[in-house]
Chains A and B, each alone.
Chain A
Amino acid sequence: MMSNEVIIERIERHHLFRELAIRRSRLAWSLTIILLICYFILIGLVTSRPAFLREPVTSDSVTNVGIVLAVALMSLGWLSTWIYIRSANGVLDTLRDRLLNEVRHES
């Protein structure tokens, strides 16, 4: 068995580790930023264009743009959660397993 420090040092320098770190942070930060931007756009509309949010969706409905956008934002939040988990369980975990395998067998 190799010591933990040796393994950690090898992982640090491994090209797959860099790829894993870059991919994960790209995915995480882009989803975070998209979600925050969408949320603050809604808040921006609430504070500056409330009349737009009060517009009915169709001419004879009482459901308005604001309700649709709020529910859509929550759905987007859920969907991005699902997207992240799918990638993390798939691509990212596969990458991690490959990395750990290669590091353990390179001696």
Chain B
Amino acid sequence: MRVNSTAVSMFLAFVSVTFAITFWASRRTKTANDFYSAGGGITGLQNGLAVAGDYLSAATLLGVTSLVYARGYDGLLYCVGFFIGWPIMLFLMAERLRNLGRYTFVDIIAYRLDSVSLRCVATLSSLAAVFFYLIVQMVGAGELVELLFGIRYDYAVILVGVAMIIYVTFGGMLATTWVQITKAVLLMFGGTLLLILSLAHFNFDFETLASRAIAVHRNGVALLGPGKLFADPVSAVSLSLAAIFGLCGLPHILMRFFTVPDAREARRSVLVATTCIGYMFIAIFIIGLASIVIVGTDPQFFEGSRIGGMLLGGPNMVALHLAKATGGNLFLGFLSAVTFATILAVVSGLALAGASAISHDFYANVLRRGKNTSEVSEVRVTKIATLFIGVIAVVLGIFFKGQNLAFLVALAFNVAASANFPPLLLSMYWRGLTSRGAAWGSFAGLVSTVAMVITSPAVWVKVFGHPHAIFPYDHPAAFSMPLTFIVIAIVSKLDRSPAGMKARKAFNAQSVRAQTGLGAEVAMRH
């Protein structure tokens, strides 16, 4: 693919706008509260868009379109799984996150369970989820930019790293939020345009589209029925648990609920996010089917013009090829720029979440034991941490060049579901939870998840080249999540320490605040 000048100019326009936002945000970001949670001044609508933006990464637009292109109905099922976590997050968590939270989700677990070992484990599992996700985004960014803009892979990765560091260190959460909102709006606009232009080829009739897709796809009519992805019950359940409860444990998503002023706005955020994400998932399913007909039968998109062979630029290029086929080079340029913007926005959110884990959870509450830290020094540590995360992300991004990293997304979601979600849920709902229980459970979840993913087919066979996997499933959540819950329950039950007693006693006061929001306003303004 040649360098697309529309893409480059639109991308530069996006970058200039976001740097302007960052400059504006930097003048309003003074305290730690401003830096981590934008001073609690984001509305429900804005936060909903930002949260949706965090979730709809480039991997979603490109990856899921390509999944539907290859496997049809399985792609739709995948979307359903990754959608259904949102309502559940609202019912069980959103309001409580707002009412109990401060800067990071670990604050909520530590609300009545303040212990150093718990913070340590939680920092580790937050960072694990953040980094696994971050590496995928960096590698995706490098490959995409190399392809679309003709910039060398390493330079592209460095470019992403630098932009991310600038957004986060100067503008904190406020800049990250507005960059995310800008990108979410652009992405939905681009997605809608792609949907309309594609449907125009089929007189806006789903039946026509579906029947033509069946006619040209090699799977024929089986395309629209369940395929291999969810065929095995255990692996289907495990993938579902990782998707649903992983969402409820992703640090960069959870963190966004501390940016709204009250529980009501937290709820509204989820409604907005659910609407945007549900709409985009259904749009992506239709776009994927349309690309089977439009891209899949057009020799210009295949290597050596052989229909059915390798797609130019690899399987993830389906959505961009479709943009070119339906809207020409101008639209291709626009969508490429939006995709790159998406990556920038998502990595910034991740970097901020990782940096807050380091500075707030580790530096302020572990190294300094919550004492003798000023907000100024905490924010300074966050900025340094962001710089480190940026550099590490760039190095890892270059190191993992050309690898198939699908397993890292699995790791991020499974770690979130197994190590972050169980202690978070129980801290809000189970009186008997103690620090010791939460720390041991979370640690067990983290270690078992990583071990199972490393020995799974995606890594053991595909990366290390062994003939057989030790652990047969790509997603371990069905095993690691129950393990975490069991370890937490047993250790907490056996915990007779004074700290454990204190934690149980503090449950009532916590539940008053969780239900009424009393005290949360104060925490926000201080």
Report which A residues bind B (CB closer than 8 A): 4, 7-8, 11-12, 17, 20-21, 24, 27-29, 31-32, 35-36, 39-40, 42-44, 46-48, 50, 53-54, 61-64, 66-67, 70-71, 73-74, 77-78, 80-82, 84-85, 88-89, 93, 96, 99-100
CB-based contact A4/B515 at 8 Å: no
Neighbouring A residues of B264 by C-beta, 8 Å: 88-89, 93
Neighbouring B residues of A42 by C-beta, 8 Å: 77, 80
Neighbouring A residues of B268 by C-beta, 8 Å: 85
* B267 in the interface (beta carbon within 8 A): yes
CB-based contact B275/A35 at 8 Å: no
- Shortest beta-carbon distance from A37 to chain B in Å: 11
Given contacts A27-B91, A62-B210, 17 further A-B contacts (CB under 8 A): A8-B509, A12-B509, A17-B515, A17-B516, A20-B515, A28-B92, A32-B92, A36-B88, A40-B237, A43-B240, A47-B231, A47-B232, A62-B211, A66-B226, A74-B278, A77-B86, A80-B91
- A12-B512, A54-B221 are contacts. A73–B84 as well, Cβ < 8 Å? yes
Neighbouring B residues of A74 by C-beta, 8 Å: 79-80, 83-84, 278, 281-282
- Shortest beta-carbon distance from A85 to chain B in Å: 5
A63 to B509, CA, bound (A): 53
A5 to B179, CA, bound (A): 41
CB-based contact B511/A21 at 8 Å: yes
Contact among B230, B240, B278, B518 for A11, CB-based, below 8 A: B518
* B519 in the interface (beta carbon within 8 A): yes
CB-based contact A63/B207 at 8 Å: yes
What are 9 contact pairs spanning A and B, CB under 8 A? A4-B518, A43-B236, A46-B231, A47-B226, A53-B225, A54-B224, A77-B83, A77-B278, A85-B270
Which residue of chain A has the shortest Cβ distance to B275 in the bound complex? A78
Neighbouring B residues of A100 by C-beta, 8 Å: 516, 518
- A20-B515, A70-B77 are contacts. A84–B230 as well, Cβ < 8 Å? no
Binary A-proximity of B225-241 (CB < 8 A = 1, otherwise 0)? 11000111100110010
- A74-B80, A74-B282, A81-B271 are contacts. A31–B87 as well, Cβ < 8 Å? yes
Neighbouring A residues of B90 by C-beta, 8 Å: 81, 84-85
CB-based contact B91/A28 at 8 Å: yes
CB-based contact B95/A81 at 8 Å: no
- Shortest beta-carbon distance from B170 to chain A in Å: 35
CB-based contact A81/B515 at 8 Å: no
CB-based contact A32/B267 at 8 Å: no
- Shortest beta-carbon distance from A64 to chain B in Å: 6
- A54-B225, A81-B270 are contacts. A71–B84 as well, Cβ < 8 Å? no
- Shortest beta-carbon distance from A106 to chain B in Å: 15
* B47 in the interface (beta carbon within 8 A): no
A7 to B513, CA, bound (A): 11
- A29-B91, A50-B226, A64-B225 are contacts. A40–B86 as well, Cβ < 8 Å? no
CB-based contact B210/A63 at 8 Å: yes
CB-based contact A67/B224 at 8 Å: yes
* B395 in the interface (beta carbon within 8 A): no
**Those 10 A-B pairs whose CB atoms lie nearest each other, nearest first:** A54-B225, A28-B91, A50-B226, A46-B226, A47-B233, A62-B210, A62-B211, A77-B87, A81-B87, A46-B230
* B73 in the interface (beta carbon within 8 A): yes
Neighbouring A residues of B518 by C-beta, 8 Å: 4, 7-8, 11, 100
CB-based contact A88/B95 at 8 Å: yes
Neighbouring B residues of A85 by C-beta, 8 Å: 90, 267-268, 270-271
* B274 in the interface (beta carbon within 8 A): yes
Contact residues of B between 380 and 434, Cβ < 8 Å to A: none
Report which B residues bind A (CB closer than 8 A): 73, 76-77, 79-81, 83-84, 86-88, 90-92, 95, 206-207, 210-211, 214, 221-222, 224-226, 230-233, 236-237, 240, 244, 263-264, 267-268, 270-271, 274-275, 278, 281-282, 508-509, 511-513, 515-519
Neighbouring A residues of B207 by C-beta, 8 Å: 61-63
CB-based contact B76/A70 at 8 Å: yes
Main secondary structure of the interface of A (DSSP, over half): helix
Which residue of chain A has the shortest Cβ distance to B91 in the bound complex? A28
Neighbouring B residues of A47 by C-beta, 8 Å: 226, 230-233, 236
CB-based contact B512/A11 at 8 Å: yes
- Shortest beta-carbon distance from A104 to chain B in Å: 10
- Shortest beta-carbon distance from B315 to chain A in Å: 23
A56 to B240, CA, bound (A): 26
A64 to B263, CA, bound (A): 40
CB-based contact B91/A43 at 8 Å: no
Which residue of chain B has the shortest Cβ distance to A7 in the bound complex? B518
- Shortest beta-carbon distance from A54 to chain B in Å: 4
A89 to B271, CA, bound (A): 12
Neighbouring B residues of A73 by C-beta, 8 Å: 80, 84
Which residue of chain A has the shortest Cβ distance to B85 in the bound complex? A77
A42 to B244, CA, bound (A): 15
- A47-B236, A62-B210, A89-B264 are contacts. A77–B73 as well, Cβ < 8 Å? no
CB-based contact A4/B519 at 8 Å: yes
Neighbouring A residues of B270 by C-beta, 8 Å: 81, 85
- Shortest beta-carbon distance from B95 to chain A in Å: 7
CB-based contact B274/A77 at 8 Å: yes
Which residue of chain A has the shortest Cβ distance to B229 in the bound complex? A46
CB-based contact A67/B80 at 8 Å: no
Among B207, B225, B275, B519, chain A packs the most CB atoms within 10 A around the CB of B225
- Shortest beta-carbon distance from B98 to chain A in Å: 12
A21 to B508, CA, bound (A): 12
CB-based contact B516/A35 at 8 Å: no
A63 to B225, CA, bound (A): 10
Contact among B224, B271, B278, B508 for A64, CB-based, below 8 A: B224
